[in-house]
Amino acid sequence: MEEVRVKVPPGRIQIKEAKCPNGCSLMDEHKLMSGKPSIRVRVSSRGATGLIHFNPFYGLFEYESELELHDGDIIEAHCPHCNVSLTSEELCGMCNVPMFAMHLADGGEIRACPTVGCKNHSLTIVDLDAQFAEYYDEELRPKM
């Protein structure tokens, strides 16, 4: 598959649907961040487990966690519904630890480093037109 890299300013793409590998929705309509449903994941770190909510706008590194997390902590991410691991085989190029992944519509994927404070992440889009239609309002949608 051909790879195309596109730089998008932080906060321009809203993730409207993220799922675990088993298909459970990770979106939380009851916990809003930036006025939109957040992405909810069950995490473990240093022997404790709790929920974390991520801002649904790609590139904004805001989160709210039930756990007290510190830079350098490594979290283990799981689906809050079926508890399947979100860990992927890809290693973070900065921290050398396995990243975690959330699946998007049309085969896309978000991968993020589980090290608190690391900003290494990626967004894979399979069907560019469909993804732009999903993520952008009509007037803001890039024209291809």
Q: Which amino acid is at 75?
A: I
What is the predicted pLDDT for the residue at 32? Answer: 97
Whether 73 maps to a domain, the answer reads yes
Average pLDDT score over residue span 97-123: 92
What is the predicted pLDDT for the residue at 31? Answer: 97
Whether 83 maps to a domain, the answer reads yes
The DSSP bridge partners found for residue 19 are 25, 103
Whether 12 maps to a domain, the answer reads no
What is the predicted pLDDT for the residue at 45? Answer: 95
Whether 7 maps to a domain, the answer reads no
CB 142 within 8 A of CB 136: yes
Quickly list H helices, the chain. Answer: 128-135
Range of the domain at 40: 27-140
pLDDT at residue 140 above 60? no
pLDDT at residue 34 above 90? yes
Is 139 strand, coil or helix? Answer: helix
pLDDT at residue 143 above 60? no
Whether 14 maps to a domain, the answer reads no
Whether 85 maps to a domain, the answer reads yes
Whether 11 maps to a domain, the answer reads no
pLDDT at residue 22 above 70? yes
Q: How confident is the prediction for the chain on average, in pLDDT? A: 87
Whether 2 maps to a domain, the answer reads no
What is the predicted pLDDT for the residue at 10? Answer: 76
pLDDT, one tens digit per residue, over 67-79 is: 999 999 999 999 9
Number of domains in the chain: 1
